[in-house]
């Protein structure tokens, strides 16, 4: 049986990456797609593990050659989901998780109406800002830009199938796993 496509989106800094890593650790029938981006790697980020770090030229070639399932520009950089990995794994019966931005998630729903869209929100904007500052990966002006995007993103939450607040990683991971399990028997 074909696997299910599960999209986990939400503002930058909400903790999507941590939650997705936990789901993958606990659920052997789930795989995560590694995105491609033109953003420069942060300290500690590994090519092929966190992202495929490629140039704008390479990214635009992939768009032209229809190698991207979806892509978006976020804060001046391209981010996209490679088509092949997701399709192959869905065909092989795995659930594939996409950890992407809100615009990308809404695009996926248009192409894959049967996809499950999960919106992860933080308890408040103040908390989101605190998390972005604490992780220390963006300069203050980038934190501000991400917060501006977050306001628009939060206004799209009602378009998602499920809306969850990330108060606690273990709890929200458990909730998502429960939802995926139910979704799988449909
Ligand atoms: P970051 O620079 O913090 O790694 O990512 C910025 C935003 O881009 C995050 O919201 C992240 O989820 C999103 N993103 C990462 N990969 C993709 C992708 O393949 N497609 C889209 N549309 N967004 C992505």
Look at residue 184 in the predicted model and tell me its pLDDT.
Answer: 76
Instruction: Find the 77 Cα to ligand 1 centroid distance in Å.
Output: 9
Domain of 168, CATH number, reads 3.40.50.300
Instruction: Find the 181 Cα to ligand 1 centroid distance in Å.
Output: 25
Q: How many domains does the chain have?
A: 1
- Can you read off the two tokens belonging to residue 30? 């789930």
Instruction: Find the 95 Cα to ligand 1 centroid distance in Å.
Output: 19
Look at residue 183 in the predicted model and tell me its pLDDT.
Answer: 86
Query: Which domain, by its residues, includes 107?
Result: 5-182
- pLDDT mean values, one per 10 residues, the chain (186 residues): 96 95 96 98 95 98 98 96 97 97 96 96 95 91 95 96 97 96 79
Distance CA 95, CA 41 (A): 27
Q: Which residues line ligand 1 (CB under 6 A)?
A: 12, 16, 35, 39, 70, 72, 74, 79-81, 99-101, 104
Q: Whose CA is nearest to atom 17 of ligand 1?
A: 100
Instruction: Find the 51 Cα to ligand 1 centroid distance in Å.
Output: 10
Q: Whose CA is nearest to atom 8 of ligand 1?
A: 101
Q: Pick the atom of ligand 1 nearest to 137's CA.
A: 3
Q: Whose CA is nearest to atom 1 of ligand 1?
A: 12
Look at residue 185 in the predicted model and tell me its pLDDT.
Answer: 67
Q: Whose CA is nearest to atom 22 of ligand 1?
A: 104
């Amino acid at each position: 049986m074909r696997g299910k496509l599960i999209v986990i989106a939400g503002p930058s800094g909400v903790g999507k990456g941590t939650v997705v890593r936990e789901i993958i650790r606990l659920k052997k029938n789930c795989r995560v797609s590694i995105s491609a981006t033109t953003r420069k790697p942060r300290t500690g980020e590994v090519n092929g593990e966190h992202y495929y770090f490629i140039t704008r030229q390479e990214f635009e070639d992939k768009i032209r050659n229809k190698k991207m399932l979806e892509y978006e520009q976020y804060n001046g950089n391209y981010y996209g989901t490679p088509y092949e990995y997701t399709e192959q794994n869905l065909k092989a019966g795995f659930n594939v998780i996409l950890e992407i931005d809100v615009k990308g998630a809404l695009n996926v729903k248009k192409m894959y109406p049967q996809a499950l869209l999960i919106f992860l929100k933080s308890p408040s904007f103040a908390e989101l800002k605190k998390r972005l500052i604490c992780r220390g990966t963006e300069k203050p002006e980038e934190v501000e830009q991400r917060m501006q995007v977050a306001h628009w993103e939060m206004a799209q939450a009602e378009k998602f199938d499920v809306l969850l607040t990330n108060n606690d990683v273990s709890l929200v991971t458990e909730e998502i796993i429960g939802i995926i399990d139910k979704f799988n028997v449909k």
